[in-house]
């Protein structure tokens, strides 16, 4: 297995391991739904990307310190065999479980599992394809608004593939050790603070980490592409509430900049680490 699928950094006393689950290629019109095509093509060239081909990684994060082993997001999951999902053949080959084992961590060792939101690339690996909870000893965290949206009637119009992942990976958690955060911010373990950053989904969470004066911000899907930072009015079809998504982006940019935080972006080129900086007419992403 390619060693580049794992990237480790230390943050004070916290050992952080970034796990490169897989890539998916998105279409320009989905990632940027309200942008003039000519402008978009020109700006994507800077990133070596074409209009119909925007490769996007999925990156989970393992935190180890003291007796805690905390996993943030599970990747898309892994299936031995292709399966028919809503009439289509799918074979998912997320690497996250294998990568965890490669760094000596078994699913049973995970003490806390944070699900930033309930889209397939973040929850697909909560259960195995044969229905086993892969982190049976973990206390599982998500936001109450996220649970209510996906488990209540409000999400019935969502694509059936999203509903499939909810049924397989979220619905069975109602009988497990799940804790639903109700506040806008909550420190669940010393140095691990969940921050509600709604917009992408109703109960989307970011995670702020702090140890020995060092800080890292895991923004999950607060933004999906560096161009969403450069152009705060550029919208993606994946955000459910455009106005809130924009507000959350600005809130996280200011949080990261004012506190000089290292930032991890789930969908940016692996390992997705960098800083945000102010430029004369807005913000920019500076990869580390
Ligand atoms: Zn995502």
Query: Which residues are within 8 A (CB) of 146 and not within 5 positions of it... i.e. 6 or more apart?
Result: 115, 117, 118, 201, 202, 203, 204, 205
Within 13 A of 155's CA, how many CA atoms are on the CB side? 23
Percentage of the chain modeled with pLDDT above 90: 91
Q: Mean pLDDT across the stretch 163-180?
A: 96
Residue 30 has pLDDT above 60, yes or no: yes
DSSP, res 95: -
Q: How far, in Å, from the CA of 141 to the mean position of ligand 1?
A: 17
Q: How far, in Å, from the CA of 168 to the mean position of ligand 1?
A: 18
C-alpha to C-alpha distance for 17 and 203, rounded to whole angstroms: 25
C-alpha to C-alpha distance for 219 and 211, rounded to whole angstroms: 18
Q: Report residue 170 as tokens.
A: 């979220």
The answer to whether 122 and 116 are in contact (CB under 8 A) is yes
DSSP symbols for 147-185: HHHHHSGGGTTS-HHHHHHHHHHTGGGGGSSEEEE-SSE
Q: Report residue 38 as tokens.
A: 């000519």
Q: How far, in Å, from the CA of 75 to the mean position of ligand 1?
A: 9
Q: How far, in Å, from the CA of 42 to the mean position of ligand 1?
A: 25
Residue 81 has pLDDT above 90, yes or no: no
pLDDT in the model for residue 49: 96
The answer to whether 266 and 73 are in contact (CB under 8 A) is yes
pLDDT in the model for residue 4: 85
Q: How far, in Å, from the CA of 219 to the mean position of ligand 1?
A: 10
Residue 268 has pLDDT above 60, yes or no: yes
Q: Mean pLDDT across the stretch 180-194?
A: 97
Residue 148: domain span: 3-287
Peptide bond into 10 cis (omega under 30): no
Q: Report residue 207 as tokens.
A: 């995670």
Average pLDDT in the chain: 95
pLDDT in the model for residue 118: 98
**Residue 2 confidence class, pLDDT cut points 50, 70, 90:** low
Q: Mean pLDDT across the stretch 16-20?
A: 98
pLDDT in the model for residue 90: 77
Number of domains in the chain: 1
Q: How far, in Å, from the CA of 73 to the mean position of ligand 1?
A: 10
pLDDT in the model for residue 75: 98
């Amino acid at each position: 297995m390619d060693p580049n699928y794992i990237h480790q950094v230390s943050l004070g006393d916290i050992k952080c391991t970034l796990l490169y689950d897989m890539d998916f290629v998105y279409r320009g019109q989905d990632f940027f739904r309200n942008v003039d095509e000519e402008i978009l093509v020109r700006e994507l060239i800077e990133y070596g990307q074409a209009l119909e081909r925007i490769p996007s990684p999925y990156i989970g994060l393992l935190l180890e310190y003291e007796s805690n082993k905390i996993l943030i997001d599970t990747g898309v999951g892994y299936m031995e065999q292709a399966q028919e999902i809503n009439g289509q053949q799918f074979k998912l080959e997320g690497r996250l479980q294998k990568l965890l084992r490669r760094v000596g961590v078994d699913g049973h060792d995970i003490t806390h599992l944070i699900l930033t939101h309930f889209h397939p690339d973040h929850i697909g690996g909560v259960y195995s394809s044969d229905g086993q909870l892969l982190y049976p000893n973990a206390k599982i965290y998500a936001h109450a608004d996220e649970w209510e949206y996906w488990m209540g009637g409000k999400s019935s119009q969502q694509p059936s593939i999203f509903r499939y992942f909810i049924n397989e990976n979220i619905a069975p958690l109602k009988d497990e050790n799940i804790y639903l955060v109700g506040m806008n911010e909550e420190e669940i373990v010393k140095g691990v603070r969940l921050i509600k950053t709604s917009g992408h989904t109703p109960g989307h969470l970011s995670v702020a980490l702090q140890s020995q004066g060092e800080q890292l911000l895991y923004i999950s899907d607060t933004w999906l592409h560096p161009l969403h930072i450069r152009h705060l009015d550029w919208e993606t079809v994946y955000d459910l509430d455009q106005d809130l998504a924009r507000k959350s982006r600005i809130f996280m940019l200011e949080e990261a900049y004012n506190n000089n935080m290292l930032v991890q972006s789930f969908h940016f080129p692996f390992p997705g680490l960098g800083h945000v900086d102010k430029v004369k007419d807005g913000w920019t992403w500076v990869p580390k």
